[in-house]
Structure formats: structure tokens, C-alpha cells
Amino acid sequence: MRTIDWIDGAIELIDQTLLPHRLELHRVTELPELIDDIQRLAVRGAPALGVAGAMGVALIAASVDAANGDEELDRDEVRRQAALLREARPTAVNLSWGVDRAMTRLDEGAAAILEEALAIRDEDIAACISMGLRGADLTRELTGKDRVRVMTICNTGSLATVERGTALGVIQTLLEQDSLEEAFPLETRPLLQGARLTAWELQRMEAPFRLLIDSAGPFLLSRGIADAVFIGADRIAANGDSANKIGSFSLALAAKHAGVPFIVVAPESTIDMSTASGADIEIEDRGPLEVAGFGGVRTAPEGVDAVNPAFDVTPHELITAIVTDRRVVLPSRGETLGGVPLGDLRS
């Protein structure tokens, strides 16, 4: 089952807020529904948001086209609605990237926009396969081991993409190649994407794993529990700084202390060369309610405020490697995103 797809003139997506208790598809026919699904994290994960952005533009164009009847597509109205979609979540660059790429076909009409959105979907599937293979090979190379123990945070599997995933896609590939000894997903506070989603996906692929509380990850790395750390990314700046789920920076510091490779896995579309460094990345704060309770049950006293950044930024100096669908870049060896000659990209 795909996390997100275009079926019979509408977007169908897995409502991730209901997992792991219910697996339910939500059919989206209007832009406000899609924006709400993005903001409440029914659909999430950088690559999936890119596909959602592109398909959202296709949905807008189809709606505007139908409203106009025989008249020419109202491009200004499509642009107005696409701008609302583009800003639904600020940190993940893939959402705006998907919207912008679909909008390049605006002058060709609604059918061309849909064609571009479906191309983005198909490219995402191929990219995940490529990242899995590159990441698995690199892990064995960096660790010198045929079977490895790996740690990860948040959800970077098929639920964060269309199929397979980024960082968790590497773990799936290691499993398929009989190179995974054990995985250690972190629970991922405050919305427990690791406990709810990653654990669910690891169970479905029958991978050996044990769930960790977030604060245990750095300590257990210092005790040698894992051979490598994998994370995804919501935006990678031009200098290699990487924004990912809150808690990633702590794992990077611990991995550096433990001498464990810290590997970022994300498609090329997540690299934002217009953002110079992590200091320029807007970090979304999701407010106090997610911290003050969970599942509709309040756990903090009434009136308690909170700081709730959804992401943090890992400086490139702490990143061993960045694995994309097209290349492996090693910041730890002085390689840069813009300065690696094409001939040096790993096949």
C-alpha cells in the first residue's frame, strides 16, 4: 500500500494519526482538507510532503478547471491557492519544492500539472530504492561489518515517502541483504512517531528491533549499542547542515563522542542550495498542547506553557555522510554538496 497516491481524480493517503491502532485511507478532494492533513500530520515526512504538494496543485488545477467550464484555466486562482498550500508547513523544503515543480506546468493546463505530480511520485519510489542500496553499501564500508546494529529517530520509512523510505529504507535494505543484526528506533517525543509508526513498520517487515526512549539513545550509543545512526532530513542547507526531527542533534553529539558514523539519508530534492546554513532554516514550533498531553489526555497542569520545536539542526561537522538518490557526500572528509565533481559521485 502506498502512503499517498492519486486515485480517480483525488488524493488518497494513509491517515498516520490513527496508526498503529487503525490503518485507514483518507480521500482528499479539496485543498482545505489537504492543508489540514498536512498540519495535523496525517501525511508527513519530507518526500511524502513533496508528493502531497505536487498532487495538491493538481487537485487545485482540476477544481479551478471544472469551475471555469469551457473557459481557460484561471492561472491566477491556481497561483493563489498554491501559495496557501506551499506555506502549510515551513521547515520541510520538499513541500514547497513539490508545489513549485508542479507549477512549472501551469501554462500547459491541469492535465500537464497532474502528469508532473505523478512523475514526482514515481521518482520518489525510484529514489528510495537507490538510497537504500547506497546506504547499505556505505554502512558496511564505514563500519567494516557485514551485519550491523543501527539506531534511528522519528519515522523515515514508507510512511514518510510513497514506498520504502529514506533512513528506514536503508534499514529495510540491510534486512533484505541479511546485514541487519538489530535496529533501535527512538520513541520520538512528543508525538511518538518512532513508537507509533517506525515500530509498526519494523514489525511489518519482520525486522529485529527494540524500542528506546529518546533520552536513552545518547547514553546507549556511548555504551556501544549501535554501529551507526541513520536519520532523515526535512531540509539540508547548502553547507550540509541538516534539519530533522527534534532529538537528532543529541544523537549526532553522542555519535561523535562514541565514534559511530552518523548518516543523513534524504533525496536530492531535500537539499536547498538557496539556504546557506542551518542558521537560516525556519524551525516550526507546534505550541504547548502536544507537550502538555497525549492522545487527548492532559499530563501537565492546566496553564503550563511549553517550547515545542518540531525540528533541530545538526551541523555538518557532526555528519559523517549524506546519502541521496544520486550520490554519497562525506562532510567528515571535507566533501561539500556543491563541490563534489560528478565523476566522483558513487555509482
Backbone angles phi, psi at 210, to 5 degrees: -135, 135
74 three-state secondary structure:
coil
Residues annotated as catalytic are 234
Q: Between 46-68 and 93-103, two packed helices, what is the crossing angle to 10 degrees?
A: 40
Distance between CA atoms of residues 32 and 40, nearest Å: 12
